[in-house]
């Protein structure tokens, strides 16, 4: 585990995946990673669990020595579907990573970002890997690309990701997933943003824990391929706003009414301000509008020139406070 305060991301593009125009989203490249945990698989990591009791589980941590997977992305070790052999037929293997307040702090309740470096070498649209999430201590899992459990209140991986598979890229078992040949290492990121991840379905002894499951499946045809390898798997909280402090949780800087809106919405700020800078962006991070209001605590946002969809409105009040809220336009 490594605690990191500042990270400059190298973003690699890959065709054929659902992706945002930038990753991490919005202003994350400007901020300090105050809560960030990375496993590089070089030393034991208690929060990663391979179910060795499960029959046929081929996930291993070690130095890859295969035909295609000849090394880790960084260092010596990675987690891989067998460090030496090609993957077998009719296989289902998985490992879990536990994420919660114990390693990301209390802000995990409101946002969760995950990224990784990985390669895959499988039979296209047949064998491959997918990622699932559990909010109920492992009782049930949902493919992250199909996670709409709280879609009205937050942005989920189906909406906000980089180089993730989409719903049309299915494996032989009908699960969306990674398959084919990645042709080298790929950078992938996904997020639950503005979303109380830890507060969904709280129960049992791990009430603050989200479990991510990385599953690999293969059909009955042996293609003698290397499978899936993952390195530098990171979970983190992204604080927006650069050197401008965010309003604390439970202290909204502004309210939108109506929201969902049709032609316009009223922005009601919680305090009179000398200068209010605001930007409106789409979910790809593209800025659509940047304007300033003066000496006010309310203004009207005209939306007539925009198509229906989901947008992000960010306010900076008097250069001291900032907050971003989701705006739905019908």
DSSP string covering 190-215: EEEBS--GGGTT--TT-TTEEEEEEE
23 lies in some domain: no
Distance CA 169, CA 140 (A): 22
Sign of the Cα torsion 189, 195, 200, 206 reads positive
Domain that holds residue 324: 254-329
Worst-scoring range by mean pLDDT, 131-140, 173-182, 321-330? 321-330
CA 324 to chain centre: 18
Distance CA 328, CA 307 (A): 10
* pLDDT recorded at residue 150: 55
**Domain ends where: 207, 237, 267?**
237
- Same domain? For 100 and 43 the reply is yes
- Same domain? For 219 and 285 the reply is no
Any residues with CB less than 8 A from the CB of 328 and at least 6 apart, and which? 259, 260, 261, 309, 310, 311
Instruction: Flag whether the pTM goes above 0.85.
Output: no
* pLDDT recorded at residue 273: 77
Worst-scoring range by mean pLDDT, 12-26, 29-43, 118-132, 180-194? 12-26
Look at 200 and 185; give whichever has higher pLDDT: 185
For the segment 53-79, the average pLDDT, to the nearest whole number, is 95
- Same domain? For 87 and 161 the reply is yes
189 pLDDT more than 50: yes
For the ranges 2-6, 41-45, 203-207, 258-262, the maximum mean pLDDT occurs at 258-262
- Same domain? For 113 and 260 the reply is no
Dump pLDDT digits (tens) for 203-216: 333 345 789 999 99
Structure tokens, 65 = 């020595």
Distance CA 258, CA 43 (A): 51
- Same domain? For 67 and 188 the reply is yes
Q: Measuring CA to CA, which residue among 253, 188, 175, 266 is closest to residue 215? A: 175
Q: What is the dihedral of CA 297, 291, 21, 104, to 10 degrees?
A: -30
- Same domain? For 183 and 258 the reply is no
């Amino acid at each position: 585990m490594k605690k990191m305060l500042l990270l400059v991301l190298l973003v690699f593009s890959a065709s054929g995946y659902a992706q945002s125009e930038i990753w991490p989203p919005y202003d994350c490249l400007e901020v300090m990673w105050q809560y960030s945990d990375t496993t590089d698989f070089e030393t034991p990591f208690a929060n990663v669990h391979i179910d060795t009791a499960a029959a046929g589980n081929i996930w291993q941590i070690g130095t890859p020595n295969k035909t295609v997977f000849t090394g880790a992305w960084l260092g010596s070790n990675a987690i891989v579907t067998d460090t030496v052999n090609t993957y077998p037929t009719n296989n289902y293997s998985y490992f879990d990573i536990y994420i919660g307040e114990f390693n990301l702090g209390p802000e995990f309740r409101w946002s969760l970002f995950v990224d990784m470096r990985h390669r895959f070498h499988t039979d296209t649209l047949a064998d491959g890997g997918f990622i699932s999430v559990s909010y109920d201590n492992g009782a049930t899992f949902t493919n992250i690309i199909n996670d709409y459990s709280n879609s009205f209140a937050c942005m989920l991986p189906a909406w906000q990701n980089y180089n993730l598979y989409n719903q049309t890229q299915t494996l032989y078992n009908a699960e969306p997933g990674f398959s084919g040949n990645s042709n080298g290492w790929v950078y992938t990121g996904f997020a639950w943003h503005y979303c109380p991840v830890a507060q969904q379905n709280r129960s049992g002894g791990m009430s603050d824990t989200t479990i991510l499951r990385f599953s690999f499946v293969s059909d009955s045809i042996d293609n003698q391929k290397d499978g899936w390898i993952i390195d530098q798997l990171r979970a983190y909280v992204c604080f927006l706003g650069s050197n401008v402090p965010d309003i604390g949780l439970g202290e909204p800087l502004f309210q939108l009414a109506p929201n969902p809106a049709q032609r316009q919405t009223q922005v009601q700020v919680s305090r009179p301000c000398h200068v209010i800078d605001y930007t409106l962006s789409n979910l790809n991070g593209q800025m659509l509008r940047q304007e300033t209001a003066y000496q006010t605590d309310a203004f009207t946002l005209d939306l007539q020139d925009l198509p229906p969809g989901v947008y992000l409105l960010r306010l900076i009040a008097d250069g001291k406070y900032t907050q971003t809220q989701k705006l739905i336009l019908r």
